Each structure stands twice: as structure tokens, then as C-alpha cells.
Structure 1
Amino acid sequence: MTATTHVDTVGHAAATPEVDQPYRELGLKHDEYTRIREILGRRPTDAELAMYSVMWSEHCSYKSSKVHLSYFGETTTEAMRSSMLAGIGENAGVVDIGDGWAVTFKVESHNHPSYVEPYQGAATGVGGIVRDILAMGARPLAVMDPLRFGAAEAPDTRRVLPGVVAGVGGYGNCLGLPNIGGEVVFDPSYQGNPLVNALCVGAMRVEDLHLAHASGTGNKVILFGARTGLDGIGGVSVLASDTFAGDEGGTGRKKLPSVQVGDPFTEKVLIECCLELFGAGLVVGIQDLGGAGLSCATSELASAGDGGMRVELDRVPLRAKGMTPAEILSSESQERMCAVVRPEDVEAFMDVCRRWDVIATEIGEVTDGDRLVITWHGETVVDVPPRTVAHEGPVYQRPVTRPADQTDLEADDPVVLERPHTPEALRAEILRMAASPNLASRAWVTEQYDRYVRGGTVLAQPADAGMVRIDESTGRGVAISCDCNGRYTRLDPYAGAQLALAEAYRNVAVSGARPVAVTNCLNFGSPEDPGVMWQFERAVHGLADGCATLGIPVTGGNVSFYNQTGHTPILPTPVVGVLGVIDDVRRRIPTGLGAPGDTLLLLGDTADEFGGSEWAHVVHGHLGGRPPAVDLDAERRLAGLLAGGGVSAAHDLSEGGLAQTLVEACLLSGRGARVTLPGADPFVALFSESSARVLVAVPESGTAAFTARCAEAGVPCHRLGTVEAAGALAIEGLADLPLDELRTAWEGTLPALFG
């Protein structure tokens, strides 16, 4: 487009109120469009309409979830906030971990793009969450990937999963960031709606924290990183109604798919460039360009600042000819950042960018007004109050109704399912469960990731939690786990969210770290379904109340709605990430069995609890009843006990129960075990999924002292048996399972399905 080509300017919009605009095609409802006209006192220009449509989308505005998410703030005490340096509303949460160090972490979704184009959808999901961490002033240190797919044997799962895994690994490996953990879960409800959640953690000195705000009249706005192209338009909203069309209007150009296209090598250079800029004190405020692109970066920076902003859009470096202002503002091209810089620092800023061969362009400045004004070749195409774009979008009180089938679902207790009782049947069930897709080894996935690049990885999958070293001199580090069981949440959203929190909290605790903060990625169906909103409300309250009980804050997160095929939503999946701190990573607790001769102890009590269990799912295809009971006080006591040391190895009990924990502990350590099951019913002992339980190995010489500490802490302790040098998992009175037989069952499933 040239300066003489017609564009829809503010003056033209004011003079032509009758022009019919495609607001519905852009995802806006009639009352939303009417409100935009009321805010502006005229119809919006094409560029303004594009900005409002993407920024008022569900993904960016949280318009259906805001009223419920406020409960996190209501339940967070001052004591919980005391270590938080940045929380909900910022690019990522930041916590003070001591000795002048701060850690930032967040998890976000890239679900729909990953179904359309698995590799790029997953890759740019990693790239986006890494830039969120970078925008806080931190060096990104590691990533994690909670993933969910349809039935493992479904043809479309074979299309989506390999591409997603390759995208996560391809982008993260090229960035030089270790992937230290995650999840791979299969369930038919995710068919057509895979969940690709990406988590990143980074570290900085406390004084290096940066926030997204544009302050200081006269300060310059600099766009730097990759050029802006046609890829990603509509990636967050429905801005592009025909994203895969061919020749458009005879222009001879094609729009690229709405899925963004990533370049990890450009992002790697951008990371180092940003860190040098931060270190030199050349940045006043900064925002990454992810969802909604420049529309988001400019409006959020201006909205969070103390004045207005003026931007010259025709100065934006482009990689496609003839892009319109609306397209430039809505493009989600990757690897871009927007910084606010003092005038006297601009040349030094540009020098750093030139040294890293990063394109940097001054596109505007902070003004003393209260408007975001964007021009195109001297003509004003945007003139809006920035808060109305970024922070004052629609807020919906969606109808909330308990699903009609909820009572029947809860009444369908799995106690009626046929259970194995003979030693032969129980032995076969252990092997069947170990080979099931949700419990089998994830090595086929994780071996495609670099887990130890940079040399800071202390624990990685298949450990219960990932752990990275933060400070070389002291050994201070952090541990992270992200977890959720969607079947539990379907049966009881309140308890299910707390069970997700409890498992992630427990996984961090069994690594030897002290849990201190939470992030979340709340994946649900359509908010226009009252039953889904009931699930969402209950899950939010469950998570918030659970965090209050444990005394750890929610520092931020993400909401992903509209995850459903037709009228069938996914299992409600509130993924919970817990961050823990360990003073010295050399005192970590490994996952496994410890040394030969160590005593094996089961901490926590086991009940007959099979609602939503992996056993009911695998053996009977059943979902019903009540999920396991939640006891967060028991989880806290257990975490306090483990923090005191005295154990040589630990492994939490979750899906698959004690049987699966023993199988994994034996195989991960390459050692055998001889155990006697507690209780009268071996089936319940093996496969129950009661929470607040951990398998620990304790040196024989320290067993008496450790069991005394258990009694003092109020943690039930059951002696199971001993660790053996090799051989088999021997369960007294039931079966001997040679490690080779267990390994064949556990390791063969995913390669057979996807290899």
C-alpha cells in the first residue's frame, strides 16, 4: 500500500457513520460493536475495529472468566503476597526466592493452533511463553509441556501428537532451553481439541524486574526483533475470516495460515539482545508481541503507563508487501518485542541491537495525553482511549448451571465394577496398567527433547518434578511440577482442581523443595454452555481455596475456553503448576528406590477410592462416582516431613496407585523390591488412587528415627519391605515380576503407537 491508496482514517470514519462493518465476522457481538461506537462517539476505523476485535476476544480479554478469577485475589492473604513481586495481570508471576534472586514462571495454552498445524502451533506456543518470561527481565531457564490428546489409537492422534512433540522439541532445543517435565495424557474428549500447554521458568536478580508500562512523556517506543508479516493474523481471534484463501482481491499475495510461524534462532538472538539491554539499564518498560500482536503491545503499554502514546505504523518493518494497517496491528508474527526507552538512551539501545543483528525501529513515543494515536503515512487511523482496548473490555456474567447429568455421574460408583482377586489376575492387571497409554513410559516423547542443555538441570522427566539450579555459588534452585486429572475434575470440579494442586504440590515436595507459588492454565469447553461455566466456577473456587489452605499464592495463569467438538466439551482440565525452592540442589531427593537394603515405607493412608481412576478407565472404560478425597492439611504435613530429609529416594502415588509407583521406581533405579501389601484387600492396596501418599526409601540405619518423625508430624507410615540389588518386583503372596518383563510392558507402548 502506498500513501495515496485509500485507508479508513478517523476523519473518514466520523464522516461516514452509515458504513456497514464486518464486526460479526471478526468475532464481535452486536452489543459489543455498539459499545465501541459509544466509546469513540463514531464508528471505528478498520484498524480500530481490528484492534478491538482481537483485544476483546475471549483469549485476550477474559470477558467470561474475569468475574470468577477475581476470587483468587479475594482469597490471597498478605502473608501469601509477601514474597510476590509481580502477580495476576502481569506477563508472568514473579516471586522472591531469597539471596537477592527472583524467579518468574507461567503456563499458557496454544491449543487450537496446534490442532490446525501441530508443529508450528506447538513451537510458537513455546516461543510465546518464553517471551513472556523474558519480558519480566529474566533469563529463561527451562520449559515444560503439559499435553493432552484424543484416544491414543485414533488416527488423528497419530497426526497431531508427533507434530506437537516435534514442535515443542524443535523450538526449545534450538533455543537451548532444557525441557524438564510435563504430561502426556490421552482421552477421547480431547479428540479434535488437543491441549498444548507450555510452561517456562526464568530467573533474575530482584532489582532487574521489568514491567509492561509506558511512562515518561517523550520516551520513545521501539519495536525490535523479526519483521511483521501476514502469518498469525486471526491466530487468537477470528480476525481473518478466510485465512486459507488463495489470491485475495487480485493482489497476487496469499495470507498465510492463522497459525504463527516461528523461528527459534531469531528468538535465541532476541533473548541475548534483551538481556544485554536490561543489564545496561536501557529499558523503561517492555512488552512481548504475542497474541494480538501490536494491538496488544501498544494498548497494554499505554494503558499501564501514566500518559498516552503516538505510533507511526508505516515505520514498522514488514516482510510482506501491501499490508493494511489492520493487518499490521493484528499480525502475530513471532519473535518481536516492544520497548519504551528514554530519548538519551535510544542510540545505545540501537547499538546493542545492531551488535546482535536485531532489527530495531523507533515507531513512536509516549505522550502527555490519555489517547493511543496511530498514524499511517501521516493519516490518523487509530485514536482510542487505550484502557478501553486493553483493560476495559466486556465483562460477562455467563449463566452458571450444574449439568443435568452430574448427579447421575456421581451416583455411578465404580464399586460395582468387576475386580481381580486371584494372584494371577492381579499380576496380569499390573502389567496391563503399566502398558496402558496414560501410564506407559514417556521416553519416546522426552528423548526428542534436550533435557540437560545449559548444565543447570538437576532433575527432569521421568522425575516427579523438574529442577534447575539458579545460583552456582550456593546451589539454590527451584523445582516445578504441573499436573491435572480431567476425570477427577469432571466428577467434582472443586475437588478435582484441589487434587491437581495437591499432586503438583506433592511432586515438588518429593524432590526435596519447599512449594511457594502456583500458576495455572484453565482449559474448558464453551463459556456459552452454563454447565461448562459451572465447572469453571467450581474449579476456580477449589483452586483458590486450596491455595489459601496451603498458604501459597496463585501468581498468574491463562484461561482457554471453547475447547470442544460440536456440543461435546473436553474434560475440564485446570492444569496447575507449582513452584518450589530448594536451598541446595545437592540435597535433592531422587526418584526411585534408593540403595539395596534400604527400607521401603508408604506414607499416607489408602482407602477404597476408584472414582475417575486409571484402573476404571483402562479396564472398564468407566467414568463415574466420586474422586479421591482431598486432604490438603495431610499434604502440607507430608511436605514438611520430606523437607526434613532422611530419605534416599521418593516417588509420589497418583494415577495407577501403588502398583504403578512400584513399577516405575524399580525400573527408574534398575533395582528390585520385595514388599508386603498393607491392608486386607490387595486390589485396593495396589490400585487405589487415594491422595497424600508417597513411597520413600530410607536407609535401614535411619528407619527408626524417620518413623518417629512421621509419628511426630502426624503422617501415617506403613512398612512395605526392602530394596534389592536387582531381579524383580516381588509382592509377597501375589507375584514376582521380573524387571525385564516390566520394562517390556512399560516401554513398548508409545513407540508401537507412534514410532
Structure 2
Amino acid sequence: MSTISSAPFTPEEIAAEGIKPEEYEDIVQRLGRHPNKAELGMFGVMWSEHCCYKNSRPLLKQFPTEGDRILVGPGENAGVVDLGDGLQLAFKIESHNHPSAVEPFQGAATGVGGILRDIFTMGARPIALLNSLRFGSLEDAKTRRLFNGVVSGISHYGNCVGVPTVGGEVYFDPAYSGNPLVNVMALGLMETPEIVTSGAVGIGNPVLYVGSTTGRDGMGGASFASAELSDESMDDRPAVQVGDPFLEKSLIEACLEAFKTGAVAAAQDMGAAGITCSTSEMAAKGGVGIELDLDKIPVRETGMVPYEYLLSESQERMLFVAYKGREQELIDIFHRWGLQAVVAGTVIEQPIVRILFQGGVAAEIPATALADNTPIYHRELLTEAPEYARVAWEWTSDRLPTCTSAGIEIQGRSLTWNDILLTLLDTPTIASKRWVYRQYDHQVQNNTVIVPGGADAAVVRVRPLEPSPNYSINQGENKGVAATVDCNARYVYLDPYEGAKAVVAEAARNLSCVGAEPLAVTDNLNFGSPEKPIGYWQLANACRGIAEACR
């Protein structure tokens, strides 16, 4: 009798969690038993491409990740670089594409909220936001609705939380019809004496749940983000989270105040996969276990079951490991900021995630099985480029229409150079993006030196809010950081390797044009399914190009 046929779930129920038959066999082998519904859901989100990079992790290992200025590389909530004069900058970019496709306002807004939490979880105060957006043709009414919703969501969250949106890019192409790309980058200046990391430490230390309450919004968001969009995706609105930027502003202040006490041993944002992700990753990184009692979790809805607690992606929530005896000190800080804060669990010696509910054990899984010892697929690369690329490479300039001093002839129409210039200026990708960036507050915090549309990269003044023994005001008063997001997606599509190299080169040029020295990059790879040969070919060659260009 096969494992699948004896499972307490139908093959359809297993597939609905994003788990392949052979992966279910692996789960049963690791547990020594069939999982229950909650555990199946935990594996489903943590073994999604969004969380464990099961297809892309071997490719990402090509990237150079060390350097004289690199303080924190991949593996934590955000990267951190040394700016000199005692200043340290945290930065990261991530996408919220699928949520934005089905609910553009909240999808984009919570994308901003999520990337901000990755920054201040490290102990950094967010100082700037950027975004990189792709939409279909503006001739299409649905595209206009998505475009309006996404821009409104970004401006709403960023403006309300008080972080300036200082730069970005917007492209339009029919290829993105119904499937917009919404990528948000955040930068933050370290405020804490030590960089806050996420690995749980100290057997017996209390685990604190802080921030907002837990509801049923964002259910299975990580699996949703890893699946391909379809006509049925509009039914996945529950997978889209709902954000509260004013609550996040309080969370920023409370977290930074808490970190400065020295009472926090580790911190993790509850992003993709919520409680499941934060407990398993903190435990695995620390080489310990976490026991968490769901009955202690503050909720906004009644009648929730473990599956819903564990897969909810309700926003503005964090998990802390506190030093024993200092938990009340932290709880008082969060209560003073009007936020939830409860001791919901304990660090345990056995390296497992144990979830308690109504006096029983709702789930018990080895932490590494969820966080780092996940399936990895080494896929075969196409031996030659796909047909679409080979056809494109055959193009030569001989195919261009004949030019004269008066203009050109295209498809039987005579166009003057004036006509052509006006047509180009009218193209949405080339036309002014002022309609977009005028909705963003790019001067809040009063440190934006170069505003959107003003140069090739944004420039933000960096200065500590409090005097630091490592920082000289005289030395640092003219110090700034430049940031840019760049990608010519058409180049990458036609030749992923050369296109990806060009992306890195373009970003470096844009930084140098404002007088900045390129220090580090953070990538955000938006590709089709790597389980399809063409998708994997594009991803693999783009990673190779980025790695080579960075080196």
C-alpha cells in the first residue's frame, strides 16, 4: 500500500497545499507518520519556492556575498553594509506580485509593510523606499485598474508610516497583462549597538509574540505567491493580507526601543507563512527548538483552528526571543505603544517546532525539516536556447525600414521624424512618470537630497538620530547614500545572461552618475515557473549573468 493511498488526505488535498506526491512521501519518512492537517499546511508553505527556494537555491549560490563593507549577507531578514563613520545601512527588496494582481491596493500596500519589517527587525530605522513596477498595456481597462490600485497602495502605506518613497521605475508591456510585477525596496540606518539577528538562543528563554492580532487574512500566502496565476486566482483573495501603516509606525518605534534595552536575544518578522515561518526559522538558525501555545496568541477572529493560526499572514506581527526575566520589560514597552505583547512560548533544547492548542499538541515537526533541510531540485539546463530566443537573435539591423531625411516608411505609412518623436514621447514607458511619484511623499524625514525624477539615482542624507561614540557629526554631516532599482526586462527576456549583466552595469552607472560608489546589490528575481524548461533556462542564465557582473 503506497504512502499516498494510505494518507488521511486525498491526492487533491495534498496538491492543494502545493506538495508533490514525492514530497509527501518525504514528509511521512521524516515524521515517521502521516502529518495532520496543520502539519501538512506548514510543510506546504515552507516547502514552497517562495520560502525555501527549492529550485533556485543552487543557482543563487553563484552570487558573491562577501566584501570589506559587508556586515550581514544572505540568510537574515536583510543585508547590512558598512558606510563608515560608525554608520551601517540595512537594505532589501522583495516582490508582492500575485497579491497585487488580485487585490492591487492591499497587495502593494502590504508589500511595503513587509519590506519595512525586514529592515527594522535588524535594528535599523527605515529611511527610504523605492519600487520597481511592471504593467500591461494602458489601453486595457484592467491594467489601468491595477496600475491605479498599486500606486495608491504604495503611496498609502509609505506616506502613512512616514518613510519617503524616493525612487523607482515603471515599465509597460503587454507581456504583463493581468500579471503585474510589484517590487519594493527599503533602506534603513542601524540604530542599535548590535545588529539584531534571528537565531533563537538560550534554553528556557521566553518567546514573545508582539504587534498586531492574528486573523484569517493572508491564508497560505507563500504557497499562493509560488503558484502560477490563472483565471481561478481571483478566488484567492483570502491569500492577500490587509495592512495597517499606523500600527506599523508604532511597531517600528516599539521594536527599536525594545532592541536598545538589550533584553531581546533574537527577532523575526512574521512575513511569509507567519507563525510557521518565524518559529521554524528562528529555531533552525539557533540550533534549538521552540514550543508555542496558540491559546496565548491574540486573535481578531473567533473559532480559529491551528491550521489557520499557523498559515495566517496577518500583518504587523513579530516574534522575539527575550532573555529570561526581562520579558515584562519588553511587554511594557509594547503596551505603551498600544500594541499586543504576550509570552507565547519557550526556547527548548529538542530541535523541533512544537505547537500547542487547547491542552494538546497540534503540530510537532523538526525545525530544520521546515526551514533549511528542505527539498532541493537540481534541474537540467536546456542544451540550446529556446526557439523564441534563437529567432530573436537572427534579427539584424538590415530589417529596419529605409530612412530618409524626411522620415521612414512603416507598413505603407509615411512618418516624419517629428511624428516618430511625438509617438515615442507618448509611449507610457518613456513618458513622464510624474503622475506616479507626485503621489509619494518623498520629503518626509527631511533627508531626501535628490527627489524622484531629479537624477539617475535617489540620494538620501544619512545621519544618526542620536549621537554615537563611533560617529563624528563633522565627518558625517555631508554623508549620503544613493540607491536605484534597474532592470531592462526586454533585454533579460531576449538574452537572460547578457541582459542580467546589463542590469548590474546600469545600476552601477546610475549610482556613479550621482557621485556614488557602488557598494552592494540586492536582487529580486521575477520569473516564470522554474519547473518548466524555458523558465529554468531564463532563471539560470540570469543568475549567472548577475554573478559575473557583480564580480
- Mark yes or no: TM-score above 0.5: yes
Matches within 5 A, 1:138-287: 138-205=124-191, 207-238=193-224, 257-287=238-268
Whether 1:484 aligns to 2:487 is yes
The match for 1:422 among 390, 405, 413 is 405
Whether 1:391 aligns to 2:372 is yes
The match for 1:498 among 484, 496, 501 is 501
In structure 1, the partner of 2:97 is 111
Report if the CA contact (8 A) 2:124-2:192 is conserved: no
Whether 1:541 aligns to 2:539 is no
In structure 1, the partner of 2:512 is 509
In structure 1, the partner of 2:300 is 319
The match for 2:38 among 44, 47, 51 is 47
Deviation at 1:476, TM superposition (A): 1.4
Deviation at 1:215, TM superposition (A): 0.5
Deviation at 1:309, TM superposition (A): 1.3
- 2:279 partner SS: helix
Q: Distance in 1 between matches of 2:397 and 2:87?
A: 48
Q: Distance in 2 between matches of 1:544 and 1:457?
A: 31
Judging changes above 3 Å, is the alpha-carbon distance between structure 1 residues 18 and 163 closer, same or farther for their aligned structure 2 residues?
A: closer
Report if the CA contact (8 A) 1:144-1:182 is conserved: yes
- 2:15 partner SS: coil
Matches within 5 A, 1:63-82: 63-72=54-63, 75-76=64-65, 80-82=66-68
Report if the CA contact (8 A) 1:181-1:465 is conserved: yes
Deviation at 1:181, TM superposition (A): 0.6
Deviation sequence 1:189-229 (CA, Å, 0-9, x none) = 11111000010000115733111111111111101111000
In structure 2, the partner of 1:466 is 458
Report if the CA contact (8 A) 1:244-1:257 is conserved: no
Report if the CA contact (8 A) 1:211-1:286 is conserved: yes
In structure 1, the partner of 2:288 is 307
In structure 2, the partner of 1:124 is 110
**TM-score for the superposition, normalised by structure 2:** 0.91
Judging changes above 3 Å, is the alpha-carbon distance between structure 1 residues 407 and 314 closer, same or farther for their aligned structure 2 residues?
A: same
**AA partner of residue 540 (structure 1):** C
In structure 2, the partner of 1:693 is none
The match for 1:532 among 520, 535, 539 is 535
Whether 1:446 aligns to 2:437 is yes
In structure 2, the partner of 1:410 is 393
5+ residue gaps, structure 1: 1-15, 246-254, 549-755
Report if the CA contact (8 A) 1:179-1:460 is conserved: no
**TM-score for the superposition, normalised by structure 1:** 0.67
**AA partner of residue 125 (structure 1):** G
Q: Distance in 2 between matches of 1:199 and 1:384?
A: 33
Deviation at 1:442, TM superposition (A): 0.5
Q: Distance in 1 between matches of 2:360 and 2:480?
A: 53
Judging changes above 3 Å, is the alpha-carbon distance between structure 1 residues 218 and 93 closer, same or farther for their aligned structure 2 residues?
A: same
In structure 2, the partner of 1:87 is 73
Question: Of the two, which has the highest radius of gyration?
Answer: 1
Deviation sequence 1:511-551 (CA, Å, 0-9, x none) = 11111000011111121221121111111011001000xxx
Report if the CA contact (8 A) 1:420-1:426 is conserved: no
Q: Distance in 2 between matches of 1:420 and 1:244?
A: 47
Deviation at 1:237, TM superposition (A): 0.9
Larger deviation, residues 368-377 vs 324-333: 368-377
Q: Distance in 2 between matches of 1:419 and 1:50?
A: 61
Report if the CA contact (8 A) 1:147-1:183 is conserved: yes
Kindly, what percent of the aligned residue pairs are identical? 45
Report if the CA contact (8 A) 1:142-1:201 is conserved: yes
Q: Distance in 1 between matches of 2:371 and 2:182?
A: 25
Matches within 5 A, 1:6-17: none
The match for 1:437 among 422, 428, 436 is 428
**AA partner of residue 120 (structure 1):** Q
**AA partner of residue 188 (structure 2):** G
Judging changes above 3 Å, is the alpha-carbon distance between structure 1 residues 405 and 244 closer, same or farther for their aligned structure 2 residues?
A: closer
**AA partner of residue 340 (structure 2):** I
Deviation sequence 1:167-198 (CA, Å, 0-9, x none) = 00000000011000111100111111100001
Q: Distance in 1 between matches of 2:403 and 2:175?
A: 28
Deviation at 1:18, TM superposition (A): 4.8
Judging changes above 3 Å, is the alpha-carbon distance between structure 1 residues 50 and 364 closer, same or farther for their aligned structure 2 residues?
A: same
Larger deviation, residues 118-127 vs 463-472: 463-472
By relative contact order (CA 8 Å, sep 6+), the higher-ranking structure is: 2
Q: Distance in 2 between matches of 1:150 and 1:520?
A: 23
Q: Distance in 1 between matches of 2:345 and 2:226?
A: 27
Deviation at 1:274, TM superposition (A): 0.5
Whether 1:19 aligns to 2:15 is no
**AA partner of residue 359 (structure 1):** Q
Larger deviation, residues 159-168 vs 426-435: 426-435
Deviation at 1:464, TM superposition (A): 1.3
**AA partner of residue 467 (structure 1):** V
**AA partner of residue 511 (structure 2):** V
Matches within 5 A, 1:625-640: none
Q: Distance in 1 between matches of 2:457 and 2:50?
A: 29
Superposition CA RMSD, Å: 2.1
In structure 1, the partner of 2:469 is none
Deviation sequence 1:96-137 (CA, Å, 0-9, x none) = 111111101111010011010000000000000000111111
Moved over 3 A (4+): 238-245, 423-428
In structure 2, the partner of 1:649 is none
Q: Distance in 2 between matches of 1:185 and 1:535?
A: 20
Deviation at 1:413, TM superposition (A): 2.3
